[in-house]
């Protein structure tokens, strides 16, 4: 997927239908949370194509789920735009995190690797403080980590999964953001990863989709609360994006070859196609955009 000799970037005039191939991913399985390293086909996280123009110069960002998929594409883009980045991820994802940290450093920025489990409130608190200490401050927070496990019938959804999905996808957003408020100054920005699932839930993702609706609500309420303090809160709602989340039981296996083909663009999105939305919401150019959800979903109607 990643064309290492690519000379185009996100500003090149191109047809969005064919900018990336319409993949028919082979059926595959990875233990949760899955690695970009082992994904087939590989994804495009902007390694060779994302071109920065100084939009986040001197900024300090903490990104959760930054080792792979959308979070990795955002981390690479932020670094190319001039930000130092702290990366949160699970310890088993070290190989992916090492690669993203390498790309950040190659862009001339600082990368701080902070592995740990976000279902643990105490870890969430220490993560924020460690990031702020090692970066020398904090002015961008991207709450992006997520757990998605497809279950066909509600009767088969275990209490354990329910608990882990809610802790990862929404409790951690509360824990991390609350701690981050000790560091964020006026001008700072918070961007939450929600999903089209917040308003068009799949029948197999009841727990996951519920947390995404909660994130939308949290985003709007918190945006109102923090706007007078000069801290903006917004969300990005991706549609079907090819990432390790989908092959570690995020989708029923027989659906993988068709993943993303039901969008008006006719293909799944690549992680790098999300990055400009996060850059826009993180940077000062979106100073009057507050409590907004930016849909990046290949054309699916959204409220
Ligand atoms: P991904 O697997 O690359 O990223 C998810 C990350 O969440 C993992 O890399 C992992 O580091 C992190 N994570 C999960 N559980 C954790 C835990 N207990 N502790 C610490 N970190 C944990 O997949 P992605 O698709 O890039 O997902 C990023 C975000 O985008 C998620 O919030 C997901 O819900 C959202 N999203 C994805 C899609 C899609 O189609 N891929 C669509 C809509 C929304
Ligand atoms: Mg990962």
Query: For residue 205, what pLDDT is reported?
Result: 98
- Among the listed residues 89, 208, 278, 288, the single catalytic one is 208
Question: Does residue 141 fall inside a structural domain?
Answer: yes
Q: Ligand 2 centroid vs 303 CA: distance in angstroms?
A: 29
Q: Which atom of ligand 1 is nearest to the CA of 68?
A: 3
Q: Ligand 1 centroid vs 228 CA: distance in angstroms?
A: 30
Question: Does residue 5 fall inside a structural domain?
Answer: no
Token reading at 89? 């991820």
The predicted-structure confidence for 180-229, as pLDDT tens digits, reads as follows 999 999 999 999 999 999 999 999 999 999 999 999 999 999 999 999 99
Query: For residue 50, what pLDDT is reported?
Result: 98
Does 292 have pLDDT greater than 50?
yes
Ligand positioned closest to the Cα atom of 201:
1
Rounded Cα gap, residues 151 and 157, in angstroms: 6
Site to probe by mutation for ligand 1, drawn from 37, 238, 258, 270 as the one with most ligand atoms within 8 Å of Cβ, is: 238
Whole-prediction pTM: 0.98
Q: What is the mean pLDDT of residues 43-70?
A: 98
The CATH number linked to 225 is 3.40.50.720
The set of protein residues with a Cβ atom below 6 angstroms from ligand 1 is: 33-34, 65, 67-71, 89-90, 93, 117-119, 144-148, 168, 193, 195, 238, 240-241, 243-246
Site to probe by mutation for ligand 1, drawn from 194, 245, 302 as the one with most ligand atoms within 8 Å of Cβ, is: 245
Question: Does residue 179 fall inside a structural domain?
Answer: yes
Antiparallel, parallel or unpaired: β 232-238 and 60-64: unpaired
Q: Ligand 2 centroid vs 24 CA: distance in angstroms?
A: 21
Does 2 have pLDDT greater than 50?
no
Cα torsion 15, 20, 23, 28: sign: negative
Helix (H, G, I), strand (E, B) or coil at 164: helix
Residues 6 or more apart whose Cβ sits within 8 Å of residue 173: 143, 192, 215, 218
pLDDT bin (cut points 50, 70, 90) of residue 134 is very high
> Going edge to edge, which strands form the sheet with 293-296?
111-115, 84-89, 60-64, 140-143, 189-193, 232-238, 293-296
Respond yes or no: is residue 50 known to be catalytic: no
* Mean model confidence pLDDT for the chain: 97
Number of domains in the chain: 1
Q: Which atom of ligand 1 is nearest to the CA of 197?
A: 43
Ligand positioned closest to the Cα atom of 237:
1
Residue with tokens 């460690």: 130
Nearest CA to ligand 1 atom 13: 145
pLDDT bin (cut points 50, 70, 90) of residue 7 is confident
Share of the chain above pLDDT 70, in %: 98
For helices 172-180 and 206-226, angle between their N-to-C axes, nearest 10 degrees: 20
DSSP class of residue 24?
Answer: -
Question: Does residue 107 fall inside a structural domain?
Answer: yes
Site to probe by mutation for ligand 1, drawn from 146, 204, 255 as the one with most ligand atoms within 8 Å of Cβ, is: 146
Question: Does residue 159 fall inside a structural domain?
Answer: yes
Rounded Cα gap, residues 241 and 199, in angstroms: 17
CA dihedral defined by 112, 113, 118, 121, rounded to 10 degrees?
-50
The predicted-structure confidence for 227-279, as pLDDT tens digits, reads as follows 999 999 999 999 999 999 999 999 999 999 999 999 999 999 999 999 999 99
Tell me which of 25-29, 163-167, 277-281 is least confident: 25-29
221: number of Cβ within 10 Å:
12
Q: Which atom of ligand 1 is nearest to the CA of 96?
A: 9
The predicted-structure confidence for 136-153, as pLDDT tens digits, reads as follows 999 999 999 999 999 999
Does 1 have pLDDT greater than 70?
no
Per the structure, the complete domain to which residue 262 belongs is given by: 37-43+53-296
């Amino acid at each position: 997927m990643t064309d290492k000799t690519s000379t185009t970037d996100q500003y090149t005039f191109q047809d969005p239908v064919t900018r990336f191939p319409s993949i028919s991913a082979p059926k595959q399985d990875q233990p949760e949370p899955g690695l970009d390293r082992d994904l087939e086909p590989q994804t495009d996280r902007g390694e060779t194509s994302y071109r920065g123009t100084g939009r986040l110069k001197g900024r300090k960002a903490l990104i959760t789920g930054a080792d792979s998929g959308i979070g990795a594409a955002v981390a690479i883009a932020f670094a190319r735009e001039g930000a130092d980045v702290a990366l949160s991820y699970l310890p088993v994802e070290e190989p992916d995190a090492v690669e993203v940290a390498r790309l950040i450093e190659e862009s001339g920025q600082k990368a701080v690797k902070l592995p740990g489990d976000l279902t643990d409130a105490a870890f969430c608190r220490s993560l924020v403080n460690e990031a702020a200490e090692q970066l020398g401050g904090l002015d961008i927070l991207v709450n992006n980590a997520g757990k998605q496990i497809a279950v066909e019938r509600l009767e088969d959804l275990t209490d354990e999964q329910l608990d882990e999905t809610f802790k990862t996808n929404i409790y951690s957003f509360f824990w991390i953001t609350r701690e981050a408020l000790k560091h964020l100054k006026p001008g700072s920005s918070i961007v939450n990863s929600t999903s089209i699932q917040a308003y068009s839930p799949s029948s197999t993702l009841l727990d996951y989709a519920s947390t995404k609706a909660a994130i939308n609500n949290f985003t709007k309420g918190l945006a109102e609360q923090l706007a007078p303090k000069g801290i903006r809160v917004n969300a990005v709602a991706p549609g079907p994006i090819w990432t390790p989340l989908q092959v570690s039981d995020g989708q029923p296996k027989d659906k993988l070859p068709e993943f993303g083909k039901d969008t008006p663009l006719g293909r799944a999105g690549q992680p790098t196609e999300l990055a400009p939305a996060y850059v826009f919401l993180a940077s000062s150019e979106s100073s009057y955009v507050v409590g907004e959800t930016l849909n990046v979903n290949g054309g699916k109607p959204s409220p």
